[in-house]
């Protein structure tokens, strides 16, 4: 655990704000049907940013819980701006390598189950040279202790401000 942590190049996790030739900003959101409560952490803020910035898209990986899709529809987000794709686990690394995301998000609700989460989503983002906005959970704080605190979102306002900053 400690060896892995020390061997990671933390420079991979710093946002570079690349120039977007197409003008489209795609947010990657790995999800699953068991994480519908997590969507409530940042979804309203993402919808606000998507309504303000027509160039923002979101791409969910995995099965997207119905409540998340319903909230996007209620927020009047055009379905053309939302993509959801399930990927077999054996194809997941190759799938990630082909994404054209600007950054990823890892919102987690403060639930008992989520207290046992590792920083895998942060490692996945780093493997793609992307920043990851994440909830202020213990393992994420531990991972971000070396200067990446700006990527941690502590409140809904934090999510909204940081999503705007990344866009």
| Model confidence pLDDT, tens digit, residues 90-120 | 888 888 888 889 999 999 888 888 777 777 8
d(CA 131, CA 93) in angstroms, rounded, equals 17
State the pLDDT confidence band at 140, using cuts at 50, 70 and 90. Answer: confident
Q: Say what the pLDDT of residue 93 is.
A: 83
| Cα–Cα distance list, 14 to 5, 102, 108, 131, 146 (Å) | 16, 12, 21, 6, 11
> 118, 106 in Cβ contact below 8 A?
no
> 59, 29 in Cβ contact below 8 A?
yes
Q: Say what the pLDDT of residue 27 is.
A: 94
pLDDT at residue 38 greater than cutoff 90: no
State the pLDDT confidence band at 55, using cuts at 50, 70 and 90. Answer: very high
State the pLDDT confidence band at 34, using cuts at 50, 70 and 90. Answer: low
Q: Say what the pLDDT of residue 162 is.
A: 92
Mean pLDDT to the nearest integer, 27-55 = 85
Residues in the chain: 167
| Model confidence pLDDT, tens digit, residues 66-87 | 888 888 889 999 989 999 888 8
Mean pLDDT to the nearest integer, 48-62 = 93
pTM given for the model = 0.81
Q: Say what the pLDDT of residue 39 is.
A: 76
Q: Give the three-state DSSP class for 132.
A: strand
Q: Say what the pLDDT of residue 64 is.
A: 79
């Amino acid at each position: 655990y400690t060896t892995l942590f020390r061997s990671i190049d933390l420079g991979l996790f710093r946002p570079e704000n690349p120039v977007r030739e197409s003008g489209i900003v795609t947010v990657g959101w790995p999800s699953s049907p068991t994480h519908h409560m997590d969507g409530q952490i940042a979804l309203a803020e993402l919808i606000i940013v998507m309504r303000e910035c027509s160039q923002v898209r979101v791409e969910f990986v995995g099965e997207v819980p119905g409540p998340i899709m319903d909230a996007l529809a209620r927020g009047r987000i055009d379905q053309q701006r939302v993509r959801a794709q399930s990927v077999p686990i054996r194809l997941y690394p190759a799938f990630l390598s082909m994404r054209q995301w600007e950054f990823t998000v890892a919102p987690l609700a403060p639930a008992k189950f989520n207290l046992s989460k590792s920083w895998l989503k942060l490692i996945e983002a780093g493997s793609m040279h992307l920043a990851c906005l994440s909830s202020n959970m213990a393992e994420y704080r531990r991972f971000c202790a070396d200067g990446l605190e700006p990527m941690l979102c502590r409140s809904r306002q934090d999510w909204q401000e940081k999503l705007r900053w990344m866009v």
